[in-house]
């Protein structure tokens, strides 16, 4: 019996197969000019927030469901700053970029015509798996998506969602930062491994999308932030 937190058709909440690119963002197969300029402005603001003198910016891209035919009303817009990270500095800069990204997304609630914008910093050497990748900077497709259909086994997705959700619920109950953070890291690694082996429509990625749509991923992130704050705080003596 599937968990009662979810309604029927959970896969449809995470993935739909449309016959056109999102008309809110695209004019045919080209990014809407007004949308493009606003995304460039957002990227510029994010770059200033990162505040690194030599960011080595190579491109600004969008990807994910809203750069393909699989968007839903719950899909956000992934905006990536593609940067060239020197190998010698990667060990130090990658965690810094991740921290800056998390802080910026946490502090800001930016929307493009009602669609949430999520900012990322991506190494130019990093392989990024997505059905579509569009260069906002140069206004052209890097990887143009195709009209695809995929057979997704709902039962397999439901089992994977239940597996992940049980881990998240245990993490939300713990007061141990390391344990909660390890659950987040584990789910992220499983999703990444699934993307690399079975692609965008693999069970792991769809399950992650379902949990993100339902708000469970944000709940886990917020819980980890709260535990980190507690660890850094010193209580007053009564």
Tens digit of each residue's pLDDT (9 = 90 or more) over 36-69: 999 999 999 999 999 888 888 999 999 988 999 9
Q: Quick one: pLDDT at residue 9?
A: 63
What residue segments make up the domains of the chain, in order of their start? 18-143, 150-232
- Flag whether pLDDT at 90 surpasses 80: no
More confident residue, 150 or 164: 164
User: Do 73 and 145 contact (CB within 8 A), yes or no?
Assistant: no
Alpha carbons 184 and 206: distance in angstroms, whole number: 16
Provide mean pLDDT across the span 149-173: 88
Question: Which top CATH class is 18-143?
Answer: alpha beta
Please tell me the predicted confidence (pLDDT) of residue 141: 98
Does residue 1 carry a pLDDT above 50? no
Classify strands 57-63 and 133-135 as parallel, antiparallel or unpaired: antiparallel
Name the average pLDDT for the chain.
88
Q: How far apart are CA 178 and CA 231, in angstroms?
A: 11
State residue 10's pLDDT score.
65
pLDDT score at 63:
94
- Read off the pLDDT of residues 164-210 as tens digits, 9 standing for 90 and up: 999 999 999 999 999 999 999 999 888 888 888 777 888 888 888 88
* d(C-alpha 166, C-alpha 160), whole Å: 10
Residue indicated by tokens 């130090």: 92
List the structure tokens of 168.
């998240």
Q: pLDDT value at position 12?
A: 67
- Higher-confidence residue of 37 and 108: namely 37
List, for residues 8-25, the tens digit of each pLDDT value: 566 766 678 899 999 999
Considering only CA atoms, which of 147, 179, 206 is closest in space to residue 6?
A: 206
For residue 5, pLDDT over 60 is answered with no
Residue 205's pLDDT is what?
85
C-alpha atoms less than 13 angstroms from C-alpha of 184 in its C-beta half-sphere? 19
Kindly state the DSSP code that residue 202 receives in the 8-state scheme: S
- Could you tell me where the DSSP H helices lie in the chain? 10-14, 33-50, 87-107, 154-173, 177-198, 203-213, 216-232
The answer, yes or no, to whether residue 117 has pLDDT greater than 90, is: yes
Task: Sort strands 77-83 and 30-31 into parallel, antiparallel or unpaired.
Answer: unpaired
Neighbouring-strand partners of residue 134: 62, 141
Q: What is the mean pLDDT of residues 70-89?
A: 89
Kindly state the average pLDDT of the residues 137-160. Answer: 87
Band (2; pLDDT cuts 50, 70, 90):
very low
Comparing C-alpha atoms, which of 35, 38, 60 is closest to residue 47?
A: 60
Structure tokens at 211: 């949990």
pLDDT score recorded for residue 6: 53
């Amino acid at each position: 019996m599937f968990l009662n937190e979810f309604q029927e058709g959970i896969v449809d909440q995470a993935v739909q197969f449309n016959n056109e690119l999102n008309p809110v963002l695209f004019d045919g197969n080209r990014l809407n000019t007004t949308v493009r300029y606003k995304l460039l402005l957002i990227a510029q603001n994010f770059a200033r927030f990162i505040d690194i003198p030599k960011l080595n910016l190579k491109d600004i891209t969008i990807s994910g469901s809203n750069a393909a035919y699989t968007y839903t009303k719950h899909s956000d817009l992934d905006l990536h700053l593609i940067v060239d990270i020197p190998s010698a500095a990667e060990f130090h800069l990658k965690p810094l970029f991740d921290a800056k990204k998390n802080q910026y997304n946490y502090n800001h609630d930016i929307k493009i015509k009602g669609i949430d914008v999520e900012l990322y910093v991506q190494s130019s050497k990093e392989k990024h798996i997505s059905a579509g990748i569009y260069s906002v900077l140069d206004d052209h497709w890097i990887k143009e998506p195709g009209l695809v259909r995929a057979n997704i086994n709902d039962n397999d997705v439901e089992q994977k969602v239940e597996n992940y959700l049980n881990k998240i619920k245990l993490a939300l109950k713990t007061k141990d930062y390391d344990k909660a953070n390890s659950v987040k890291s584990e789910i992220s690694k499983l999703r990444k491994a699934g993307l690399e082996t079975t692609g965008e429509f693999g069970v792991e990625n769809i399950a992650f999308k379902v949990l993100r749509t339902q708000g469970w991923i944000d709940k886990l992130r917020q819980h980890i932030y709260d535990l980190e704050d507690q660890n850094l705080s010193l209580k007053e003596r009564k």
